[in-house]
Amino acid sequence: MKWFTRTLLITLALSVPATAVQADGHLGKAVKARKAYMQLLAFNLGQLGAMAKGKAPYDAGQATLFATNLQLATQMNNSAMWPEGTDNAAMPGKTRALPVAWEAWPEIGNKNKELAIAAGTLAATAAEGLEILQAGVRGVGKTCRSCHKKFRAPKKKK
């Protein structure tokens, strides 16, 4: 009985991480990382969007902080987060990235550059008043949408 329990525990200890690696290998980690990157963008832009829409009071210091975070994030070279074989045909249910992102490579990289430029403008001008912030947020939002429209599958209705 003792032997049996020990064997069972060892089997469990070995099988659990093995399954985890299978479900989240190198490609899975890349998908997770780029989604986390997108969430980071969305969080900072969301804070700025709240100010732009009057849902949060305009504050030059806070606006600069979130816009600078956004700009710094867009300066990261995240090409390793987009390995081939991580589109929604290869990994259904795990990602919304469309195969065209790789077929049209490096167009997606150019979209990223457009975002970085818009985020730079936003960070440099966020302290100059609400109307300028609103224009900057619109400018960044346009670059997010333009990339999503071409390279991201629409959300599945639940």
Write down the least CB distance from residue 157 to ligand HEC, Å: 16
Closer residue to ligand HEC (CB): 15 or 146: 146
Q: How far apart are CA 40 and CA 82, in angstroms?
A: 17
User: 45-50: which pairs have CB atoms within 8 A and are 24 or more residues apart?
Assistant: 45/70, 45/137, 45/140, 45/141, 45/144, 48/122, 48/126, 48/133, 48/136, 48/137, 49/137, 49/141
**Choice between 115 and 133, CB closer to ligand HEC:** 115
Which residues contact ligand HEC (rule: CB under 6 A)?
A: 31, 34-35, 38-39, 41-42, 45, 95-97, 101, 108, 111-112, 115, 140, 143-144, 147-148, 151-152
Q: In the bound complex, what is the minimum distance in angstroms from residue 22's beta carbon to ligand HEC?
A: 19
Nearer to ligand HEC, 58 or 96 (CB): 96
